[in-house]
Structure 1
Amino acid sequence: MSFSSPYQYGALGRIDSIRLLKLKPASSSDATLSCELSESNLSAAPEYEALSYVWGKDEYPQRIELPSGCLKITESLASALRTLRSSDKPRQLWVDAVCINQCDHVEKAHQVSQMAKIYGKAARVLAWLGESSDATLNMTLALDLAQKAKDIGLLSPRGENRETIRKWAYGDSEKLEWMMGVMDAVDDAGFFWLYQSSWFTRMWIVQEALLAKRLILHFGTVRLDWEDFEKVMILIQAVNAAIRLPMTSREVFVKYAWALIEVRDHWLQSDSHPVAADHITYYMHQLRRRSCKDDRDRVFALLGLLPESTGLNLHPDYSKTVAEVYTELAAAQLRLGNIGVLYDAGLWKRKYFQPPESRGEGTSQPSWSDYLPTWAPDYRQDTSFMELAEMRFGDYFGADPRVPPNIDLLKESYRLTTQATLIDIVTCVQPALFVHHEGLRANDALMLLTCRRFCMDLKRTFDSQFVNRPCPSHEDSTKVFAYSLVGGGN
C-alpha cells in the first residue's frame, strides 16, 4: 500500500488495550519517520516510554509512515520523534496523538480514562520541552547548582527554605557573595530556557508529570532528570524569597514552573493515603491558568489524580458540553459534602450571561449550551491572586463543620436545593485594610493594636444590629460575634 494512503485504525480488542508506537532507528535526523503500531494490554506490563509534549498549532505538515499507510502529525511531535529516535535500535513509545484514534470519541474517552495508568506504568516519561535552537543549556553549571541546593539542605519545596539559606549564608561573606550571584549563575547555565518552555503552561502535562515513575526533561539534544531540575528550582525560589534578585521571566517561573513543583509535591505527600475528593478543588485552582485546547480537559486531565475510593464517580465523556462537565463536577463534590464549591462559583467571578431568547440577531453571545448554574464554578476563568489568598483549600468555606449540608440535586440537573438557617441580612461589608499594609508584620505591636481597633469597630457595628431585638439564633450576641471571628473554631 502507498505511504500516501491514510492509516486506518482498527478497534482495540480489550478494555485495558493500548496501542504502542515502535519508532524505528535511523542514522540521520532528516530520515523519514518510519514506525509501526501494535496493540498491547496494560495488564501484560509491556515495556515502553510515554511522551509528554505540547501539540502546538492545529496544523499537520509532517507525517509518520506505517506499513499500511501514513499518519499526519504536528511539527512539534515530528521534532520530538526525530530527536528521540535512536541510531541503532527501535524505541517503543506511547504517544497520545498517534496511539489514540482521535476521530473516535468513544475510544478517545476510554483511553483518556486510562491515561493515569498509561503514564504510571511507563518505564520513563519523556518531557519534550522543544528544540533548543539558539538557546544553550550548560549541563555542568546546571548540575553544579543542583548539587549546591542539596549541600545547603534545600531538599523539598516545603519547609522554611528561605530561613535555611539565610542561616547557611549568615556571617559568611563568601557564602553571601555566592548567594548574591545565584541568578547570574542561573543565567550563565541557560537554565531559564527550561522553565520558560511552553510545556509548563499546558494542563495535560500535570497528570503526566505527577504520575511518572521517572521524569526526564528533553530540551533539544540535552536531557535533565526531574530531580536535578527541581533542586535548581528550589534553590532559585529560596534565594529570591531570602533576597529579592532580578530574575529572567519571573512571572513564568512562579505561575507555571514553580506551581507544577508545588502541586507535584502536594501529590507525592498525599500518595500514601486516599486523597479527599475536594482536593480536586486545590488542583483546579492551582492549575486553572494553564492552557488546553478543549476546556473539558480542565477536568478530564485531573480525574486520573484521584483514586476511585474518593467516590467522585466522574469519567471522561467528550459527547458532553463544557457546561455539562463542569456542572457534573460541582454536583459530585456537593454530594460528597464539599460546599466550598459554592464559594468557588461566586457570581462576582462571572461574566454577565444574557439568555439566548433575549439576544439580538447576529450576536455572538453564548447559547444555553454554555450556561452554568450559579452554583457551579466556571474553570474557564482565571482566579485572581487575592481571591486565592483568601481561600483555605478543602475547608475554606466558613460554614459550621458540625452541620452536614442538606443538598438535593435530584429534581432538576441545573437546580440545587438546600436548607439554611437565617441569621441576619448582610447590610455592609468592611475590608480589613491592615491585612494588606506592607509595613506591618504579624509580630509587630502596631499590628496587634490595628487588629484590636478593627475588631472593636466591627463589634460596635455588630451590636448596632441587635438594638432592641434578640440575635436571630437566640444565642448571646457576644458569643456569636466571637464565634464568627474565628470561623467556627474553638
Structure 2
Amino acid sequence: MTRIEDQNTPRLCWPELPYVYKPLLYSDSIRLIKLEPRESGFSDQLTCELLDVRLSETPDFEAISYAWEAAVFPDTLHILKEFLKITSSLASALRKFQDSNEPRLLWADAVCINQSDVPERSSQVALMHQIYGNAKQVLVWLGPGDERTGNVFSLLERFGTASSNYGVDPLDLKDRLPWIAAKKATPAQTELLDQIPQKYDLSGMDEFYSLPWFRRLWVVQEITLARHIVLHCGGFETLWTILVRAAIVQYRCVWRATLSNLRLPKNFDATIAIETARRTYAVNSNQPLFGYLKALRLSLCSNDLDRIYSLLAISRIPVSDLPPDYTKSVEDVYVTAAQLMLRNSVTVLQWAGCANRIRGDEKDIESGFVNSDGESGLGQLCDRMPSWAPDWRRRQNALIGLDGGAYQAASKSTPLLSTDPFIKGPPIVLDIDPSKTTIYTKAMSVSCIVSIKGLGPRVILNDKDFHERVIEIKAHYDLWMEKVGPKPVDDQLKMFACTILAGGQAGGTRYYFRETLSTPDLLRLWQDFEATPLAASTPSFAPFQRVGAKPRITDSGVEVFALSESYAYRMALRQILQARNLFVTTDGQVGLAPDISRPGDCVVLVAGLSVPLVVRPARGNEAGLHLIGECYLYGLMHGEIYNQSKSEDVESLWRCMPLV
C-alpha cells in the first residue's frame, strides 16, 4: 500500500481545502478508504486516508454497496489536510461502518474513483468486477431506516430462518428460480402459507422493497460477484441469503392467489431479478448479456451507458470487446452491444424495432415516429440508431414481449446475419463495425397487412370502455373476413378467439392462467367475455372470486378463493392488447402487430426466430427495411411452414433481407 498523503497536522488546524485526486500508480490500482475510528467529541466527523492499492496484491478490504440518490453533497469527508463533499447516503453508510476502535479499509465508488476524470472512471469501471469479487464481504447500506423497518427485518428473519417450514429448501441450489416451485409445498406447508396474511403485519413491505438500493442496476453485479453479503438498514442487519429465503416465502404465499387483497409488495420484482441473476451466474458464468438486459430493464442507473457496462462482467461478452468508455455516445455503445449480442442469438431482434421506442407522448411526434394524429410516420430513426438495435433506455417497453419459449415460427431454420449480403456462410456472422448500420438477415416474406384495428390511444381504460373497444375490434374483424371470402363461421370465430389472446401462450397469459390454454378454452373464454360486459365503476378485484363459488376453509378458519377465469382473462387480454392492433393480411390471415403498424407493412419470418416480424420499406433514398417489431400470426406460430412443405422447399424460400 502506498500512502497518498501523510497526516502531520492536528485535525483542528486543517485548512478547508478541496481534495485533489492524485493519478493512480498502476493499471490495476484502486483507492481504498482507510476510515479512522470515531472519537469522543468527533462522533459525526468522518476522517480518512486514501490508499493506492494494487488488486494483484490481494488487499484485505470490504466494499460498500449503496444508492447514490440525489446528486447533492451536503456532507464532508476529511482526507488528512483536505476535504471532499459527499452525499448524505454515503455519509450515513460511512458512519454506520465506522469502527469504534480500529481503522477500517473500505471501497466506495463515489470516493475511490475520481468521478470528474473520465478516462480514470472508464478504467476503474472495468475493474469493478474484481473489486467486488475480491472484497472479503460486501456491506449493503439500505439507509437509516425507522421503526417500521425494524418490524420488516423481524419478519424477514422469521420467514428466512424458518423457510423450510414453508417448503423453501435453503440448500437447494439446483432450482435457480425457486419462486416458481410453489406447488412443491406439502399440505402442512401450504397451510402455514395461508396463515401469513392473517398472523403478520405486512404493511411495511412496500416501503422496504421500494428502497432505492433495490432498483439500482449496479447492485446486480455487486451482489452476483460478492463472496459474502450483509444487509444493513439503520441499526438492523441480516444476511442476503435470509432476505432471499424470506422473499421466496412471500412469493409462494401470493402465488397461491388465495386472497383477493393479497399481492406482492411494490417493486418486489427487483429483488427477484437480482437473485435470479446471482443464481444464474452461479450455475453458468457464461450467460448472454441479452438475457440480463431483458430481465433488468426496469432497474435504474444515472448514466445510460451503465445499462451495458454494469452487466458486462457477468455476461459472456468479454469486457475487452466492449471496454467501458464514457467518452462514447449511448447510441454507439448500444449499436456495438447489439452487434456483439447478435453473434450469439438472433433473438435480440425481438426486442428491437421502432415499436419498442414509442412512448406515446408528444416526444414521439417531435422525433418523427408518429404524426399529430397518432399514426406512425417513421420519418427518421429515433436517437440515430438503426431499427435492429434495441434501445435499452426505454426501461418499460410499450410492447410486453410475446414469446416466453412457447412459439417456434422459424426456430428450426439456422439463422444467418452479416454486415454484407450473403449467399452461403456459417450460422451467424457479424463484423464489429459501428459505422455499418445495415445487417442482412435470412428471411422470407409471408404477407402484407391490409387492415388494422386496435384499442386506440394508449390510455388506461376502465372495464366498460375496454370491453366496448374489444367488441369493436371483433366487429371490424368480421367485416374484413366477409371481404376476404367465404369462411365457415366456426373457423372464423376460432381464428379470432385464438389471435386476440396470441394463442394463449404468451408469457403474460401463462402468468395469469399458469397452464396452457387449448383452443376450446380460448373460445369459451372469449364467448364469456363477449357476453358479460362490466360497468365502468366495477372495482378492479370484483371479478376475482367466481360467482357462486364456495370458498375453501383452511384449518385455521381462513376462507380462500381461486382466481376466477373471468378476471384472469381480462387481465391477460389487457396485457396482450397493450400497444397492439389486430391486423388482416392480403390473403386473409389474421394476427397481432405493434400499434404503429399500418397497411402496406410486411410480415416476415426470420430464420432462427420464434415469432414473425413486421417490417416497412425505408423512405427516400435509404435502401433497406425498418424493423417495426414482433407479431403474432395465426397458423404460423408453431413451425407450420415446415409442415406445409418439404424441408428443402422451405430452405429455397429464404432471401436476403437488409435491415436498417
TM-score by shorter chain over 0.5? yes
Q: 1:442 to 1:197 in 2, by over 3 A?
A: same
- d(CA) in 1 for partners of 2:514, 2:164: 34
Contact 1:102–1:108 (8 Å) recurs in 2: yes
Residue in 1 that maps onto 2:357: 350
Where in structure 2 are the equivalents of 1:183-222 lying within 5 Å? 183=197, 187=201, 193-222=207-236
Are the aligned partners of 2:210 and 2:266 in contact in 1 as well (CA < 8 Å)?
no
- Stretch deviating more after TM superposition (127-136 or 32-41): 127-136
Partner of 1:280: 289
- Trace 1:155-304 onto structure 2 (pairs within 5 A): 155=169, 158-159=177-178, 160-165=180-185, 167-169=186-188, 176=191, 178-183=192-197, 187=201, 193-245=207-259, 246-247=261-262, 250-254=265-269, 256-271=270-285, 274-275=286-287, 279-304=288-313
- Give 1:477's aligned residue: none
Change beyond 3 A, Cα 1:257–1:115: same
Q: Distance in 2 between matches of 1:225 and 1:182?
A: 22
How far apart, CA to CA, are the structure 1 residues paired with 2:62 and 2:640? 49
SS class of match (1:251): coil
1:282, distance to aligned residue in structure 2 (A): 1.3
Q: For residues 25-53 of structure 1, what are the alpha-carbon distances to aligned partners after superposition, in whole Å with 9 as ceiling and x for unaligned? A: 11468431011100111111111110010
Decide whether the 8 Å contact of 2:32 with 2:105 is kept in 1. yes
Q: Please give the alpha-carbon distance, in whole angstroms, between the structure 2 residues aligned to 1:107 and 1:341.
A: 32
> How far apart, CA to CA, are the structure 2 residues paired with 1:48 and 1:397?
52
Q: Which amino acid aligns with 2:123?
A: H
- Tell whether 2:314 aligns with 1:305: yes
Three-state SS of the structure 2 residue aligned to 1:402 is: coil
Cα distance in 2 between the residues matched to 1:303 and 1:397: 31
Say if 1:50 and 1:93, in contact at 8 Å, map to a contact too.
yes
Counterpart of 1:108? 121
Contact 2:338 2:390 in 1 (8 A): yes
Contact 1:51-1:126 at 8 Å conserved across structures = yes
SS across alignment from 1:21? strand
Letter in structure 2 aligned against 1:37: L
Q: 2:94 & 2:642 partners in 1: Cα distance?
A: 56
- Of residues 6, 12, 17, the one that matches 2:29 is 17
- Does the alignment pair 1:56 with 2:69? yes
1:444 Cα deviation from its structure 2 partner: 6.5
How far apart, CA to CA, are the structure 1 residues paired with 2:116 and 2:187? 57
Code of the aligned partner of 2:211? S
Q: 1-side partners of 2:308 and 2:519: how far apart?
A: 46
* SS of aligned partner of 2:449: coil
Distance 1:117 1:411 in 2: 29
| 3-state SS of paired residue (1:317) | coil
Task: Look up the equivalent residue of 1:15 and give its one-letter code.
Answer: S
Question: RMSD over aligned Cα, in angstroms?
Answer: 3.7
Contact 1:120–1:211, Cα closer than 8 Å, also in 2: yes
- Tell me the distance in 2 between the aligned counterparts of 1:108 and 1:45: 21
**Greater C-alpha radius of gyration:** 2
State yes or no: 1:485 paired with 2:638: yes
2:117 aligned with 1:98: no
Alignment of 1:30-179 (within 5 A): 30-138=43-151, 139-155=153-169, 158-159=177-178, 160-165=180-185, 167-169=186-188, 176=191, 178-179=192-193
The Cα shift of 1:263 comes to 2.5
Conserved in 2, the CA contact under 8 Å of 1:145 and 1:232?
yes
339-348 vs 434-443, which moves further: 434-443
Q: Which runs of 5+ in 1 are unaligned?
A: 357-366, 452-456, 464-471, 473-480
C-alpha distance in 2 between matches for 1:229 and 1:269: 20
- Secondary structure of 1:11's partner? coil
Deviations 1:413-442 (A, max 9, x none): 152131434443333687343625978953
Partners of 1:420 and 1:317 lie apart in 2 by 33
Instruction: Report if the CA contact (8 A) 2:209-2:266 is conserved.
Output: no
Distance 2:52 2:278 in 1: 31
TM-score scaled by length of structure 2: 0.60
Q: Which amino acid aligns with 2:440?
A: T
Identity of aligned residues (%): 28
Unmatched tracts of structure 2, length 5 or more: 1-8, 170-174, 359-363, 369-379, 421-430, 453-495, 526-583, 591-604, 606-633, 644-660
CA distance, structure 1, for counterparts of residue 315 and residue 514 of structure 2: 40
Aligned twin of 2:580: none
Tell me the amino acid that sits aligned with residue 639 of structure 2: V
Deviations 1:316-344 (A, max 9, x none): 1000111111111112223x142222221
Are 2:326 and 1:326 aligned? Answer: no
8 Å contact kept, 1:337–1:405? no
- Is 2:355–2:399's contact at 8 Å kept on the other side of the alignment? no
What is the CA-CA distance between 1:390 and the residue it aligns to? 2.4
Counterpart in the other structure of 2:446: 424
Which has a greater percent of strand?
Answer: 2
Partner of 1:360: none
Matched-pair contact (CA < 8 Å) for 1:343–1:397: no
Displacement of 1:239:
1.0
1:442 corresponds, among 516, 522, 531, to 516
Whole-angstrom distance in 2 between the partners of 1:192 and 1:411? 45
2:35–2:103 Cα contact (<8 Å) kept: yes
Partner Cα distance (1:4, 1:91) in 2? 24
Count of matched residue pairs: 445
Quick check: 1:337–1:404 contact (8 Å CA) kept in 2?
A: no
Aligned partners of 1:13, 1:370: CA distance in 2, in Å? Answer: 39
When the two structures are superposed, what TM-score results if normalisation uses the length of structure 1? 0.80
